Each structure stands twice: as structure tokens, then as C-alpha cells.
Chains A and B, each alone.
Chain A
Amino acid sequence: GQQLNQSPQSMFIQEGEDVSMNCTSSSIFNTWLWYKQDPGEGPVLLIALYKAGELTSNGRLTAQFGITRKDSFLNISASIPSDVGIYFCAGQLGSGGGADGLTFGKGTHLIIQP
């Protein structure tokens, strides 16, 4: 199946710093999604992207759908302690009204030092 390469694998930053992470794929996706997962919990949807080139914000989070449809990035500005967790990118092939499964990256573990 498809694979998503997510980087970096982990990040150690100071509170207040900006964060950037990205995902790349050898395949085209029609939807890109970014999730955050806390230990022992289900992933929580942060941002959904549906059009190539789309740039979407959700508070301090900004994500973009790459123009080639093979990549996406997520930025977090002015990090705070509750941003700690694992961030996953996910791509979906489905288009035209269908609903199929997601392909996930392996995650970026964000650790914030006060």
C-alpha cells in the first residue's frame, strides 16, 4: 500500500517556539488530514485539507496541501505545554463522494521544555 514519510520523528523545543513538521508521499492523495494523539487516547482531528494548494488555519495551527498532492505540512506557532503529544498526518485517496480508509504517517512526537 501507500506510505507516508513524516518528519521529524521527534522534536524537543522550548515553550513559545514555532514548530514545523511535514509529510511526503510517492502517491497522490485527494485529502490530507492532521491529527493529534495523547497517550492512550484516540487521535483528535486538527485540520482537514481538500484542495491542492489549500492553506488552512485553526487557531495557532496552520496546514497546507501541497500543490503536487504528494505532500503537506503543519505549523504550530508559539507552542504551549498542552501542545505536547504525537502529531499524525493522514492521506485519503477517495474522491467523488466515496469514503475509504486513511494512510497514516508514523507520527511526530512533540516535547516541550518549559
Chain B
Amino acid sequence: DGGITQSPKYLFRKEGQNVTLSCEQNLNHDAMYWYRQDPGQGLRLIYYSQIVNDFQKGDIAEGYSVSREKKESFPLTVTSAQKNPTAFYLCASSKVGVYNEQFFGPGTRLTVL
């Protein structure tokens, strides 16, 4: 089955620790994205990547870092510099072209204690 996987579903970390969220896709999509969702809010763009070894900051990139070493993978690191890291994190992927609708993974809920 083609799709996007995110792991783990729930993640708990102590304040001050860095944590890396996994995102893998087997849809052969060139572009991948990370969004953050807070309760009662829409999604906000953190980072996106249109091609391997290249990525761009989104609207709320401060305190986050990403890498894109493989087409299938786009891990997100939440660093200790992120002031309010507790949130629901969603990964998406899309083709690059005119019809580039984004498809989402199931999400990772991060709670920082």
C-alpha cells in the first residue's frame, strides 16, 4: 500500500531535550512538508522540501530543523530552542507540478513535560 507513515504516534520528552520525528513516504513524491497543529487551530507550515538535499523555511521554522537525504524520508527535529513544542505534528507529500495536492500522514502528538 502506498502512503505516508509517521512514527511514533505519541511522543513524550522532557523540557530541554531535542527530539526527532520520523516521516516516510512510498508515493514517489518529490516534495515533502512539515506542519504543526495546535488545539482548535489550522495547520501552520514549518519546513518544506521540493527535492533531495534542499529545503525551505515555512512560517514557523524557528526552533526546528530538517534534513532531506533521501527522497522517501524527511525527518523533523524539535530542538530545545522551540519555546512551545507540545503540539500535533503532521507530515505531507506531493508531486511537483501543476496538480500538486498534498497528502498527509497520521501525525505525531508530541508532549513536552
Which of A's residues lie within 8 Å of B, judged by CB?
Answer: 1, 4, 6, 31, 33, 35, 40-45, 48, 50, 88, 90, 92, 94-95, 97-107
- Is there contact, CB below 8 Å, between A42 and B106? yes
Once A97-B96, A99-B95, A104-B42 are accepted as A-B contacts, the answer to whether A45 and B101 lie under 8 Å apart by CB is yes
- Is there contact, CB below 8 Å, between B102 and A33? yes
- Is there contact, CB below 8 Å, between A102 and B102? yes
Residues 81-113 of B contacting A (Cβ, < 8 Å):
88, 90, 92, 94-107, 109
Least Cβ distance of B57 to chain A in Å?
10
The interface on chain B, measured as residues whose beta carbon lies within 8 A of the other chain's beta carbons, has a size of 35
The yes or no answer to B58 lying at the interface (CB within 8 A) is yes
Least Cβ distance of A29 to chain B in Å?
13
Which of B's residues lie within 8 Å of A, judged by CB?
Answer: 4, 6, 30-31, 33, 35, 40-45, 48, 50, 56, 58-59, 88, 90, 92, 94-107, 109
- Is there contact, CB below 8 Å, between B45 and A42? no
- Is there contact, CB below 8 Å, between B96 and A104? no
Nearest first, the 3 A-B pairs at minimum CB distance are A104-B42, A101-B45, A42-B104
Once A43-B104, A88-B43, A102-B43 are accepted as A-B contacts, the answer to whether A97 and B97 lie under 8 Å apart by CB is yes
Partner of B98 from A88, A97, A102, A106 at Cβ < 8 Å: A97
What are 24 A-B contacts with C-beta separation under 8 Å? Answer: A31-B100, A35-B104, A40-B88, A41-B107, A42-B92, A42-B105, A42-B106, A43-B90, A44-B104, A50-B98, A88-B43, A94-B100, A95-B98, A99-B95, A99-B97, A99-B100, A101-B33, A101-B35, A102-B102, A103-B45, A104-B43, A105-B42, A107-B41, A107-B42
A95 and B73 alpha carbons, distance in the complex (Å): 25
- Is there contact, CB below 8 Å, between A99 and B30? yes
Partner of B96 from A95, A98, A106 at Cβ < 8 Å: A98
- Is there contact, CB below 8 Å, between B42 and A99? no
A106 and B48 alpha carbons, distance in the complex (Å): 21
Residue of B nearest to A105 (CB): B42
Chain A residues, CB < 8 A from B96:
97-99
Residue of A nearest to B60 (CB): A1
A92 and B90 alpha carbons, distance in the complex (Å): 17
